[in-house]
Amino acid sequence: MRVQLSFGAIVLALVGCSLHATEGAGRNGAFIGYHESEARREVTLAAQPKPGPFRVKISSSYGEFIIKLRPDLAPDTCTLVWELAQKGSCASCKFYRHEPVPMEWGKDGFFGPPYALLQGSLADLARQPPFENKGTSVKKGHICMIPNCKEFFIATADHSEWGQSHTVWGEVEDLSAEPNYPFEPFHSNTHDNITTRWLDNTYAFNITAIEPVPLGAGSSGGSGAGLALNKA
């Protein structure tokens, strides 16, 4: 049986709302024509050390998650998350669903319930991220947007049963804080034979940006931080 999440349609209406990535100086130069200042800017950018991966931190009194963004998989979503994380305040960010990994997960096609995830809201994102997935299925530790909303989850097991129906935008580097987040009290909701668990309380978190540490001077192909986020 194909398992579907009960919140909102998984059927993907691929509506527009895609952000336009910042164009690189080189590309602008190519389209607008040669300008000496642009050429000089390119030299300056190329001389900079290549930035390391972009990371954000989700934190609360229950523990923290360091998340490596994957702009190679979801450039527009990562840009939106990075912008929010740089603000450093997210009054509406909260977890509200936490379902454990059941015994025998994945055996003989058993994929819950319960559904092996920690779910929450990034309601303060500047806009709803577009759906971005070109063939990535959800693995344990992935952090993903649910299509057509600002809600996300951290997968606590592989979710091959969901196919490529979510935007995978990052990887949690260490899941050890996850069991510290409350699983209870919760109430169940059954819809189309699918029973999901919803926490009775919500648990606020903050999301903050961790500026990339350069990978080392002299590495080639360097570019400005914003460019790397969009093109890494």
By the rule CB under 6 A, 204 interacts with ligand NAG: yes
For ligand NAG, the closer of residues 10 and 45 by Cβ is 10
* Shortest CB 214 distance to ligand NAG, Å: 27
Compute the C-alpha angle 189/191/196, nearest 5°. 40
* Shortest CB 167 distance to ligand NAG, Å: 25
Residues 50, 221: Cα–Cα separation, whole Å: 7
Among 18, 128, 202, 206, indicate the residue that binds ligand NAG (CB under 6 A).
Answer: 206
For ligand NAG, the closer of residues 37 and 193 by Cβ is 193
**Residues 36-55, interacting with ligand NAG (CB under 6 A):** none
Residues 1, 138: Cα–Cα separation, whole Å: 18
Among 18, 60, 164, 202, indicate the residue that binds ligand NAG (CB under 6 A).
Answer: 60
By the rule CB under 6 A, 192 interacts with ligand NAG: yes
Among 107, 134, 193, 220, indicate the residue that binds ligand NAG (CB under 6 A).
Answer: 193
By the rule CB under 6 A, 95 interacts with ligand NAG: no
Burial of 142 (0-12, 13-18, 19+ CB in 10 A): buried
Residue (of 118, 87, 123) closest to 101 by Cα position: 118
Placement of tokens 């190519």 in the chain = 30
Residues 199, 204: Cα–Cα separation, whole Å: 13
Placement of tokens 């194909």 in the chain = 2
Binding footprint of ligand NAG on the chain (CB under 6 A) = 59-60, 192-193, 204-206
